[in-house]
Amino acid sequence: MKHSSNSNLVYSTEGGRACPACRQPLAQCACQAKALVQGDGVVRVSRQLKGRGGKTVTLVKGLALDATELALLGKQLRTACGAGGTVKDGVIEVQGDHCEAIMAALRKHGHRPQQAGG
């Protein structure tokens, strides 16, 4: 197999995902390429039942925070609701129907949440 000098390492089993700019593992990246933030500025809080075995989950989407800040906010929201949950792909998931409590907690943190869905 012929190797090209233009190939870029995308994933390594040693360090995980690699930064496209400096080719270092994302955890050790020193450049600003990893500072890209997801989100459209509108924080949406919704409930979801589908695909979860009939269990209700409250979703928080659209937060313009990086991964560590998002994980910290997710922890604070789960603690405020007294429930479990996770952060996946820029979306905070809290187990149970906690729309009002999450919206109140987000307002305390300076966000302007909107309830999406029913």
Q: Encode pLDDT of 33-55 as tens digits.
A: 444 445 566 889 999 988 788 89
The average pLDDT across 76-101 equals 90
CB contact set of 91 (below 8 Å; sequence gap of 6+): 59, 60, 61
Per-residue confidence (pLDDT) for residue 34, from 0 to 100: 43
What is the residue-averaged pLDDT of the chain? 79
Q: Which two tokens stand for residue 10?
A: 């995308």
Intervals of CATH 3.30.780.10 along the chain: 38-115
The average pLDDT across 91-101 equals 91
- Nearest CA to 59 out of 37, 78, 82 is that of 78
The average pLDDT across 23-27 equals 69
Q: State CA 74 to chain mean position distance.
A: 8
The average pLDDT across 77-82 equals 91
Is a pLDDT exceeding 50 seen at residue 25? yes
Query: CATH fold of 38-115, please?
Result: Translation Initiation Factor Eif1 (3.30.780)
Q: How far is CA 116 from CA 8, 47, 94, in A?
A: 40, 8, 15
Task: Tell me phi and psi for residue 38, to 5 degrees.
Answer: -85, 160
Rounded to 5°, the CA angle 9-68-30 comes to 45
Whether pTM exceeds 0.85: no
